[in-house]
A and B are shown apart, each in its own frame.
Chain A
Amino acid sequence: MRRRRMSGRRISPFWALCVAAGILVVVFVAMPAASMLAGAGAGLLGEALRQDDVRRSLVLTVSAALITTVIGFVAGVPLAYLLARKEFPGKRAVEGLIDVPIVFPHTAAGIALLTVYGRQGIAGRLLAPLGLEFTETVAGIVLAMLFVSLPFLVDGSREAFALVDERYEHVARTLGSSRFGAFARVTFPQAWRGVLAGALLMWGRGISEFGAVVILAYNPKVISVLTFERFEGFGLRAAQPPAVLIVLVAFLVFVLVRALSAPRRRRSGTEPP
């Protein structure tokens, strides 16, 4: 026997609480972002772009993160598809493992990578003859970015693939498509938005990475390292140009991600009274 209280036009305390908490969270997140963007007047931005080291660092950061994302795409998307479609022993463990970098403190990730890919690490020694070194190199930056950002692409893609009905693939195959054909012509065209959003998220995560990168490669300086160096070495004023620039780039990436994922969203909640 359930009694239903009709609240009429009164706002129930429950929703009032939700709204109040929501406002707090929104203000908390919006204030620093807004302060940064408000500070990013044309003057500061122009100043940032006129400084050689900031410009170089921006190009380095954006392109290293892009290389990272391409590598992640080639390696991570097949895995994501596998995870979305197949059951196999140890699958849960694999899924968990993929997400481990999310909870790793990034400095710890950098140290872990150093022990494996450093000059005396197992992988480091194997790859050195091929001319691949990971300390103080772009390769090291890419490595660090890859480790911490891969989960975003794999998780995003896996969810996107899982949303594509497997029956369409069966239909394509009964109509004579190969597995590759079915994937390329049926699955991917339906999942690409989600995959791309995952890739962009990965790219953005790579751009913003600091802790793991700084341990492998202090030089050449990615923009987060440059910002930190400026702050520590020269003060707040000097750190502002690169900081503002990177916030703007990150914001742009974020807007792209939102734009891509928006149409997939269906409203599932009800309107609050």
Chain B
Amino acid sequence: MSNSGELSQRQQAWVLIKDHWDVSALLVLAIAPLGVPALGGALGGQFTTLFIYSILALGLNVMVGYTGLVHLGIAAFFGIGAYVTGILTVPMYPFQIGFLGAAIASIVVAAGIGLALGAPTLRLRGDYLAIVTLGFGEVVKVTLRNLEQITGGMKGLNPVPPPGAGVKLGGLDVGLSFAIDPRWFYYLSLGILAIVVIAMRRLENSRLGRAWMAVREDELAATAMGISATRVKLSAFAMSSAIAGLAGSLYAASLSTTADPNAYDFNRSIMVLCAVILGGLGSIPGTLLGVGILVGFDTVLAPWADSWIQQLDINPTGSSMLSFSGWRLAIFGVALVLVMRLRPEGLVPSRRVAAELHREEEHAAITKGF
């Protein structure tokens, strides 16, 4: 009896954490730099990248997850955000409006371009839209490369100053702090990620979010209920692009360069799309977990495993067969195949479905216990 009571208590704790996964995760990540000194070094930078990709994936989730429109060119909007921020902040150009203004401009420009792409492609569905977005991604990449006077071509634009460059707060040079201590960027991107998560949850449970899902579920039925599919899809395009633009802006500021246009190519779009699908379409925790696994694998786990193997000193010839990076993509592919085979709905399926499934499970467990 006491055993079953304990079990249900443990279950209750688990349910509590699951219901407040966002607050718990945020708290853990916010406290982490105090306990893990490595986050003040290179690891902190890697986590910043992780957060930025999470923001990007949440943006893509609006289109692919909520609205059900396949988008293979999200990296283009990521790049547009990065380059707008670059143009508006680098010392080479006379604008230099600082990070905040540049981030807002990135959001607006990316949303505008998203609308311009969305408007003529509204009637396309499924594969056709996928091809159009794929093509658009390539067009943006090549355009960024060819507008050499504006974007610096393959060199990219640099240096992008850190946020708060030149701002002094009580003797503390904010820009300098950002430049030397990775924890500043860690907290900035974590904060923006938290804001985006809150915004997404609110939209999910509001009129616009419902309309997105209705269009995904059955476009004809939605229009027959007076929903304007045109507007709903355009809003999804704009929202998705705007969030991707924000992520791009943060990315450029954190790298202090826009990087070259090839950083915003098809591979990146596909990786983010894989993260969203792996985690669970239309699910915020799923998307975050998907990014954590896929991008974390690449940026955190792979370098760590490599250095560990090197320390073991079992690979004196430097053979790529004995380094983790050599197997990186193979592991990645096998893992994707396995997950899609065993759990096609994603690791954390959409909240509603999950809640529905788990309520029944918990119910069954509790009745069994008594």
Q: Do A and B truly interact?
A: no
Residues of B bordering A, CB below 8 Å: none
